[in-house]
Structure 1
Amino acid sequence: MEASEFKYLKGLSKVYPNIAKASNEIINLQAILNLPKGTEHFVTDIHGEYEQFHHVLRNGSGAVRRKIDDVFGATITTNEKKALATLIYYPEEKIKIVEAEEADNIDDWYRVTIYRLIQVTKIASAKYTRSKVRKAMSKEFAYIIEELVSERYTQDNKEEFYNGIIDTAIETGMAKQLIIAFCNLIQRLTVDHLHVLGDIYDRGPYPNKIMELLMSHHSVDIQWGNHDIVWMGAAAGQTANIATLLRISAKYGNLPILEESYGINLLPLARFAMKVYADDPCSCFTVGYREDDITNIKDVELDKKMHKAIAIIQFKIEGQIINRRPDFHMEKRNLLDKINLEKKTVTVEGKEYELLDTNFPTIDPKDPYKLSKEEADVMERLKQAFINCEKLQRDVRFLFSKGSLYKVFNDNLLFHGCIPLDKNGKFKKVKLFGKTLSGKELFDTLDNYARLGYYSLDPEEKLKGLDMMWYMWINENSPLFGKDKMTTFERYFIADKATHKEPKNPYYKYINEDETVDMILNEFGLFAEDSHIINGHIPVAFKDGESPVKCHGRVLAIDGGFSKAYQPKTGIAGYTLIYNSFGLRLAAHEPFKSMEQAIINESDIHSDNVLVQRVVKRKRVADTDTGKELKDSIEDLKKLVKAYRQGCISQAE
């Protein structure tokens, strides 16, 4: 036995001090390997749509309702199933309504409901060890729930046993709390792990509430999206990201997120905008307020002026980065120096276009990318506000701790955008800071730069990281962007829509070919026949017949328009994906109206489910990443038992 192995087994012996305890753990782990794999839930491009995301989390993209159907079949009515499902999603709120409506018969309702919840809990907990189920229970009711879902009672005494516990719960006034505990447990057990494939932020009004949900979730990972990296860079102090974030928030009428949810003081920007653009109608800088927030609009003209002010600042700061980082190869995107105010035109890629707006009071033609003194003061104040916002810093630290640019999980490759490919469908070679990168190495390097930008104390490393966090948002070689260019300037100032086009990376062309999919999966160490690529980012135009299922099911592009801003294009309100022990199931969701309507009318999100892949043999824990770790642990424990038997390590009594 090598010294390193002996040292490791010696440490392991402190946890399992004798053959009996080590052997018991081997038996326990071996039993876990034979359980069905836990259910994985995939969502992407949430874009601040809190209520819809919250509901999808609670109903497990229809998984809860399927369990109810499995348990009760035709023995209860459709309306009873809807009522039970709504109760499981929103137990506190639904019980209040029932208690008011069924005051005279509430005890009977308690009895029937608890009995039904017991049956659903049994099927939801069937794929887990008793220990794991116990840990998921409310501590207050763990013993009672465990007894109620146990199968150790005979049919003769089971009913009497159930009634005794339920009657006592009713008599002591604890029936409501017991029901809530059951509902929360069912939600918890229905989905074992959540994958968020990026873009939590921007467009919708409540990304902060989504972050709170994610931070309270029992098991989650996040693949950063391009909009997430903007907020992450802003929290680190990257002023180009701060300006971008503010511009997008202004464009979608979401500035209150910053002021009310994160406490970012926007008064310096507002005062500057009102002063510099006082007589400017800012007609090119409209604000896309949401219909459900229309009553909260305070000052449309101010929002438009702030929109323009921060857009001009953004173009200036971006120009500074482009000039500072020739490795980014973005010189063509510097357009402020291509403006001819006398002719009221701008030259883009050699062609001259008439400008829709020619009022640029802060742009110095001799040094167009230099911030005016007032602009610089505004940005410094905003930078300090972002850096010192503890709530934002908490959210961003969570994104770093639970997130990454990609993840390999249970033989699937997860990322937000794309794998940059060249025109021939091969990994695109990208040169950054003197090093040529492609494929997995590009992802790993960019991920590292993002962490340097946020955490590094070295000024040079931090600046590189900060600039790379902007690069990941906007550069054609970024796997988070996946387009040749971002035509923000053209969309504001040029009428010709030909200049607005943003050609997509060849990835989106080649991803339907087996050779390309094999190349990508192999690059990330995946060789299994049933491996998949799962990503979001580009909304799938469902209403035009486009399918999220690519390459006969090997690639799943599941951005279906969670964001209301995209729903007119997609025709639906998002895709989600469920991967359980039986296979992969894709759900296409209709728009979610409100939590209030879901509770009162017992209306779930209508979802069309498609079975993408059904496995020939049911997946077990042994077939998962967790299973691989458990197998390694079993081998280590077997070595420990052998060492005990050979006398290499002494057993404790």
Structure 2
Amino acid sequence: MRDLAYLKLMSREYPTIKAASSEIINLMAIQGLPKGTEYFFSDLHGEHEAFIHLLRSASGIIREKITETFSHIMPEKEEVELANLIYYPEKVLNQLECLETADDEWQRVTIYRLVQICKVVSSKYTRSKVRKKMPKEFAYIIDELLHVDYNDDNKRVYYSEIIRSIIDIEVGDKFIVALCELIKNLTIDSLHIIGDIYDRGPRADMIMKELLHFHDVDIQWGNHDISWMGAATGNLACICNVIRIAISYNSFDVLEDGYGINLRPLSMFAARVYKDDPCERFLPQTLDENIYDAVDPGLAAKMHKAITVIQFKVEGQIIKRHPEYEMNDRVLMEAIDFKRGIITIEGKEHSLVDTFLPTVDPDHPLELNAGEEELLRVLQLSFLHNGLLHKHVRFLYSHGSMYKCCNSNLLYHGCIPMKEDGGFEELMLDGKSYCGRALMDCLDQKVQNAYFMPEDSKEGADARDFMWYLWCGAKSPVYGKGKMTTFEHYFLDDPQTYKEPMNPYYRLSVKEEYCDKILEEFGLSKEGSHIINGHVPVKIKEGESPVKAGGKLFLIDGGLSKAYQAKTGIAGYTLIYNSNHLALAEHKPFNPEEESTPKVSVVEYVKNRVMVADTDKGVELAGRISDLKELVAAYREGILKENVE
């Protein structure tokens, strides 16, 4: 018999044999249903419009359901219109109202069609689960409509009366919106974000807002997420880095309109210090126009250079504080011969293409001047006391981790660091050596400490510094490269110096034997399990495939970010895992004016349909059923008494 105190606690929720037995029956029935559909996205990089469209359209699956249900009676144009209504109901209804085309007959037909799609996407769930997802004000009506018996004349009349009443009392639009939201809610059962929500694209804050309201989501942190999380802890190098990247991609809106970070002190400092410097190497890439905060490109370039120079200084200071990072060769400000205008990197001299560095003291190149110190103090306060940013960062903590094992899939953003011989790379942390799964678990705790440890604790300060190492360190699983050549890109003209050597993981993981090694390290079976990660864009136009190692590795960063699409040839992937198969949705570059339904291809069929009982949730339910059976036994044996009113 299980611990009696635990059974007593359960008895509060199930006070009788009947109540406990009823729940056993319910849970066993759920185990016999097909598993829900999981969606995997990676490397969103602030592309809010594209991602939100993919989320609302379920990466084209909703359009597929419409075609399957109505293609024999509905022309393609109407299929597209119905799909757009489901994706953006308020927007479409407002447009139709302006055109005066949403009359009673249109509402009646539309409600009928939406109910049919609801039936299709809800078929794999219990009625109770579907009810929980329904908007409360219409739950009873929707439930009735979903279970109409069309063979019964009386029921058909009943159905018609419900629809007529909805329209007569002028709540047709609200009911249509409710049905559209339910369809989207039911189509994606759970959502996995394999890292890099932030940077490059215009509005990562909008993506976070969408994720905050999603019913079941988890996040595996990417290096760009870690950088923002580090900035929220007050890490000066991370703060400079996120500002630098935002300016470099002309993404002022995410900083100033999104998070309310005041960049005026930076613009004033930059305009004063670099007033006669054209800063040509620092002109931002204009992939997106700022809507709320347009900045003159010349001033933006000066701001870009100012924060970049400060970043190199504070990064050098972190490296000096932590010799255990083994990054002294990256303190490049100290490798400059300012009189000759050259820098020595890995024993080779290179000429600097820009030698105007008025805030750098050649004798003490890592020291901040008074103006830089004051500027950083102001910027740091903007990040430390930013309510919306911290709301989003806390969500990244509560729903995120370094990795996740889920339904025989291992999810992580970058890599599991490996050595050339195929062994796991070791990293010294607090005097101990870690590798493989133990390293990932230890780093997970480090990331937690950076945000939650007291400000005045040494452990917390070290963890906050380490957030920067995770962003760009050679043994960081979320970075996975030997070095980050940001300095070289700005100040050198030699493309050979731009190379960032990949961790051996990326060469080895395309072979099944090494995927098996990683899966076993994380306690997963070699048979039927997969690794799913992102970080490195798949270049379709060069013949690369996202499916590697005989189908054991899915690399799903295909370039949702516009910055990558010229190289990849597509706009990223969604991996979709339902009860029958795994499929890849290949995204087209997003254009709000055009139909952009992804191309969905099945890449692996499962041997037997996956039921809830076969999933991690099924294991959890089995444990719950076992506990309830013990509770019933305790009632029957008189160990506990039923609370019969």
TM-score after normalising by structure 1: 0.96
Q: 1:189 aligns to what?
A: 186
Find the aligned partners of 2:512 and 2:175 in 1 and give their Cα distance: 52
Instruction: Tell whether the 8 Å contact from 2:59 to 2:597 is kept in structure 1 after alignment.
Output: no
What corresponds to 1:636 in structure 2?
Answer: 627
Determine the C-alpha separation between the residues in 1 that align with 2:5 and 2:460.
Answer: 39
**Aligned to 1:336, which of 315, 333, 347?**
333
- Report deviation, 1:249: 1.1
Residue pair 2:425, 2:435 contacting (<8 A) in 1 also? yes
Is 1:467 aligned with 2:458?
no
1:613 is aligned to 604
More deviation, 171-180/562-571: 171-180
Match of 1:555 among 553, 571, 576: 553
Determine if contact 1:39/1:580 at 8 Å carries over to the other structure: yes
| Match runs of 1:340-359 below 5 Å | 340-359=337-356
Distance (whole Å) between structure 1 residues aligned to residue 570 and residue 471 of structure 2 = 26
| Secondary structure class of the residue paired with 1:26 | helix
User: 1:121-200, aligned counterparts within 5 Å?
Assistant: 121-151=118-148, 154-200=151-197
Q: Distance in 1 between matches of 2:270 and 2:30?
A: 62
1:309 aligns with 2:309: no
Q: How does 1:431-442 map to 2 (within 5 A)?
A: 431-442=428-439
Q: What letter corresponds to residue 325 of structure 2 in structure 1? A: F
Q: Among 268, 283, 288, which residue is 1:286 paired with?
A: 283
Report whether the alignment pairs 1:543 with 2:519. Answer: no
Partner of 1:531: 529
Please state how far the C-alpha of 1:217 moved relative to its aligned partner.
0.7
Give the Å deviation of 1:82.
1.5
In the alignment, the residues of structure 2 paired with residue 569 and residue 70 of structure 1 have an alpha-carbon distance, to the nearest angstrom, of 35
**Per the alignment, in what secondary structure is the counterpart of residue 417 of structure 2?**
coil
Equivalent residue for 1:370, pick from 355, 364, 367: 367
How far apart are 1:432 and its partner, in Å?
2.3
Q: Does the residue aligned with 2:577 lie in a helix, a strand or coil?
A: strand
Alignment partner, residue 381 of structure 1: 378
Deviations 1:605-634 (CA, angstroms, capped at 9, x unpaired): 232222111112111111111111100000
Aligned 8 A contact 2:240 2:311 in 1: yes
Letter of the structure 1 residue corresponding to residue 523 of structure 2: G
SS at match of 1:527: coil
Measured in 2, the distance between the counterparts of 1:284 and 1:74 equals 58
Q: Hey, what's the Cα distance between the residues in 1 that align with 2:544 and 2:292?
A: 36
Q: Following the alignment from structure 1 to structure 2, what is the Cα–Cα distance between the partners of residues 475 and 212?
A: 30
- Partner AA of 1:144 in structure 2: I
Contact 1:328 1:432 in 2 (8 A): no
**Residue 295 to residue 430, structure 1, CA distance change in 2 (3 Å):** closer
In structure 1, the residue matched to 2:28 is 30
8 Å Cα contact 2:43-2:557 kept in structure 1: yes
For 2:333 and 2:137, locate their aligned partners in 1 and report how far apart those are by CA, in whole Å: 64
Task: Name which of 231, 236, 245 aligns with 1:234.
Answer: 231
- Structure 2, unaligned runs of 5 or more: none
What is the distance in 2 between the residues matched to 1:330 and 1:285?
A: 25
**SS state of the match for residue 136, structure 2?**
coil
Secondary structure at the counterpart of residue 12 of structure 2 = coil
CA distance in 2, matches of 1:30, 1:154: 31
Q: CA deviation at 1:590?
A: 0.7
Matched residue of 2:563: which SS?
Answer: coil
Size of the aligned set, in residue pairs, is 643
> Is residue 327–residue 433 contact of structure 1 (8 Å, CA) maintained in 2?
no
Tell me the alpha carbon deviations over residues 387-412 of structure 1, each in whole angstroms, 9 at most, x when there is no partner.
01111111111111111111111111
Q: What is the match of residue 393 of structure 1?
A: 390
Whole-angstrom distance in 1 between the partners of 2:78 and 2:277: 59
Question: Counterpart of 2:215 in 1: which secondary structure?
Answer: coil
Partner of 1:19: 17
Q: Do the aligned residues in 1 keep the contact of 2:35 with 2:579 (CA within 8 Å)?
A: yes
Counterpart position of 2:358 = 361
Q: Which amino acid aligns with 1:618?
A: R
Which region of structure 1 is more displaced relative to structure 2, 173-182 or 231-240? 173-182
Confirm whether residue 263 of structure 1 aligns to residue 260 of structure 2: yes
Shift of 1:487: 0.5
Q: Which one is further off, 152-161 or 605-614?
A: 152-161
CA shift for structure 1 position 218: 0.9
CA contact (8 A) 1:585 1:611 kept: yes
Q: Where does residue 418 of structure 2 map in the other structure?
A: 421
| Cα distance between partner residues in 1 of 2:373 and 2:88 | 48
Shift of 1:169: 1.1
Deviation at 1:295, TM superposition (A): 10
By how many angstroms is 1:133 displaced? 0.8
- Among candidates 485, 488, 499, match of residue 487 of structure 1: 485
Letter aligned with residue 232 of structure 1: M
C-alpha separation in 2, matches of 1:514 and 1:639: 43
Which residue of 107, 110, 115 corresponds with 2:107? 110
Task: Classify the secondary structure of the residue corresponding to 2:404.
Answer: strand
Deviation at 1:52, TM superposition (A): 0.7
Amino acid at match of 2:88: Y
Give the 3-state SS of the residue equivalent to 2:503 in structure 1: coil
Within 1, Cα distance between the matches of 2:610 and 2:148?
A: 25
Offset at residue 292 of structure 1 (A): 4.3
Instruction: Identify if the C-alpha distance between structure 1 residues 479 and 41 changes in structure 2 by more than 3 Å, giving closer, same or farther.
Output: same
* Post-superposition CA distance 1:506-546 (Å, at most 9, x none): 11101111111111111111115111111111111111111
Shift of 1:279: 1.5
Task: Tell me how far apart the structure 2 counterparts of residues 156 and 615 of structure 1 sit (CA, whole Å).
Answer: 41
Extract unaligned runs of 5+ from structure 1.
598-602
Alignment deviations for residues 262-288 of structure 1 (CA, whole Å, 9 cap, x no partner): 111112222211121121111221211
Work out the CA distance in 2 between the residues paired with 1:158 and 1:573.
Answer: 47
- Post-superposition CA distance 1:392-436 (Å, at most 9, x none): 111111111111111111111111111100011211111223111
- Give 1:17's aligned amino acid: P
Aligned-pair CA distance for 1:350:
0.4
Q: Is the 8 A contact 1:446 1:468 kept in 2?
A: no
Q: Which amino acid aligns with 1:418?
A: C
Distance 1:264 1:240 in 2: 16
Report how far residue 583 of structure 1 moved: 1.3
Task: Compute the displacement of 1:123 (Å).
Answer: 1.2
- Determine if contact 1:406/1:413 at 8 Å carries over to the other structure: yes
Pick from 567, 570, 578 the counterpart of residue 576 of structure 2.
578
Q: Counterpart amino acid of 2:610?
A: K
1:531 touches 1:554 (CA, 8 Å); kept in 2? yes
User: How many angstroms apart in 2 are the aligned matches of 1:580 and 1:297?
Assistant: 44
Deviations 1:92-133, CA, capped at 9 Å, x for gaps: 222233344454x72111111111111111111111111111
Q: Does the aligned pair in 2 maintain the 1:239–1:383 contact within 8 Å?
A: yes
Q: CA RMSD in A?
A: 1.5
Please name the residue that 1:650 is paired with: 641
Contact in 1 for aligned 2:149/2:156 (Cα 8 Å): no
> Could you list the per-position Cα deviations for residues 449-476 of structure 1 after superposition, in whole angstroms to 9, with x for gaps in the alignment?
1111111015201111111100100101
